[in-house]
Structure 1
Amino acid sequence: MVSRVFYNPFSIVFMFLLLIILSVIVGILFFSLVSTAFTKIGFAWYDAFLLLILSLFGSHVNIPVTKLKSSKPVVERESVRFMGMVYKLPFKKAVQKQTTLAVNLGGAVIPGLVSLYLLLIFPEAFFYSIAGILLVSVVTYSISKPVKGVGIVTPVLVSPIAAALSAILIVSVFSVPPDLIFVIAYTGGTLGTLIGADIFNLDKIRDIGAPVASIGGAGTFDGIFLAGVIAVLLV
């Protein structure tokens, strides 16, 4: 008689429904956090929903800017698509010596435009926000690392924590009106991460050997979008 070590008391249908329910709950919680962050800055909930949807779809759009000659062979891993699944083959091929520099719509353009909009409608926070952006840029640049074949990588929580602490410090030292802390935190989290992680590391893109280097991410939410949201939630 063979005893079963692992036993699943639930049916496959039940587990599938549970997975759907959990996905919906996580999605609602994520939207709730994002909408809370944007309403703190001054947006209505429907504006937050629109920005989230635009960022989600925009995260899959990379706008090519230029092509850079790579100092190393650009390597792509062979893959095969079958029935909607992508399978990586266990060998690589060098295809070119150029890296396409692109800008991600949802991960860079939209958060950047939101930050610039905030600086325009809150001119009294402009110089304080610039100070926060510079602080976050220095911190982000110091911990960002180029990864061959991937791009510039930074720890997820360092930039938003730096943005939140910078906003708290600036408001405390310069006696800034408390309601401006959210603007300082968001602009510091987004533009500070964008400048520190991507702009300051443009000279290193030639050495990473990636076919595409996308400012703001490639197909997924980059730290730029999340940095601004998390920073606002932390202050």
Structure 2
Amino acid sequence: MNNPYFQFSGGVIGALLFLAGLFFILVFLPVSIVAEAFSRLGLTTFQGVLMFMAIVVGRTVNIPVHTSQRLVMVRRPISVRCVMDTRGQGACVEDEPANELKKQVFAVNLGGCVLPLLLSLTFLLGMADAVGAVGFGWIGFALVAVAAGCYAVSRPDVLTGMRVPLFMPALMTFVSVYFFVPEPIRPLAAYVAGTMGTILGGNVALLLTPRLRNRIATPLVSIGGAGTFGGVLVAGVLAVLLA
């Protein structure tokens, strides 16, 4: 007679394989791709992984730089409270949220703006002698092209303030770099144009356009933050690998 408590169905092995697959797809593969991209720009594998972790963690940090006099509506969530009625029975009542007005705050995101900017400057200064004046001209051309494209496709967003389509910056960076920039400086041009072009065109230029800026109604407007961070990261990494 078989004891049902000792029958093996393979469920534990399957669960472990599933978790291992998730770890590979969500952790190991992205880290490996980013490390490979940064290695083409002169960083070691350890430095690349460390910088990737700093960027991912830094996406949660917004540094305020300006508080506007413009007031925006902040919606509070609906609260539910449970009370006892006259018969001693419990009942749940929804309280209507009391919306409030707050001054709009502008900030820069640590992982989506500050660190990519510092990396771009570091790479440019470190490779200045090899790039030369002509190379800087091509990098500037690619940056302007990506910025113009991101400005064309970026939109004010109700939840995030500003939104840039995830893969559009990477696609525009690849086209502008692969077909126009000389091969020796393509990785550098791809990173600088992909990150800074996305930020300048998708966020900064949008904020400098009154018609679009006035359509942003979120209390916190973060340059390189939610809605743009993914585009900056994908453009900076994929464009370098494809260049």
TM normalised by structure 2 equals 0.78
Over 6 Å off, 4+ runs:
none
- Gaps of at least 5 residues in structure 2 are 1-8, 80-93
* Matched residue, 2:75: 76
Q: CA deviation at 1:227?
A: 1.3
Q: Would you say 1:226 and 2:196 are equivalent positions?
A: no
What amino acid is aligned across from residue 136 of structure 2 in structure 1? F
Change beyond 3 A, Cα 1:193–1:139: same
> How many angstroms apart in 2 are the aligned matches of 1:199 and 1:112?
13
> How many angstroms apart in 1 are the aligned matches of 2:53 and 2:160?
26
Q: CA deviation at 1:157?
A: 0.8
* Matched residue, 1:84: none
> How many angstroms apart in 1 are the aligned matches of 2:49 and 2:227?
20
* Matched residue, 2:218: 210
Larger Rg: 2
* Matched residue, 1:113: 118
> How many angstroms apart in 2 are the aligned matches of 1:161 and 1:90?
47
Deviations 1:55-96 (A, max 9, x none): 12111111111112336x32234177xxxxxxxx99655322
What amino acid is aligned across from residue 51 of structure 2 in structure 1? L
- Do the aligned partners of 2:76 and 2:98 also contact (CA within 8 Å) in 1? yes
What amino acid is aligned across from residue 54 of structure 2 in structure 1? L
- Do the aligned partners of 1:161 and 1:234 also contact (CA within 8 Å) in 2? no
- Gaps of at least 5 residues in structure 1 are 1-8, 81-88
Moved more, 221-230 or 104-113: 221-230
Identity of aligned residues (%): 32
Say which of 181, 184, 208 aligns to 1:179: 184
TM normalised by structure 1 equals 0.80
> How many angstroms apart in 1 are the aligned matches of 2:45 and 2:77?
44
Say which of 149, 158, 178 aligns to 1:168: 178
Aligned length, in residue pairs: 212
* Matched residue, 1:34: 34
**Higher relative contact order at CA 8 Å, sep ≥6: structure 1 or structure 2?**
1
Moved more, 26-35 or 39-48: 39-48
Deviations 1:153-181 (A, max 9, x none): 1111111111111111222xxxx3x2211
Q: Give the RMSD, CA atoms, in angstroms.
A: 2.6
- Do the aligned partners of 2:191 and 2:240 also contact (CA within 8 Å) in 1? yes
SS state of the match for residue 222, structure 1? helix
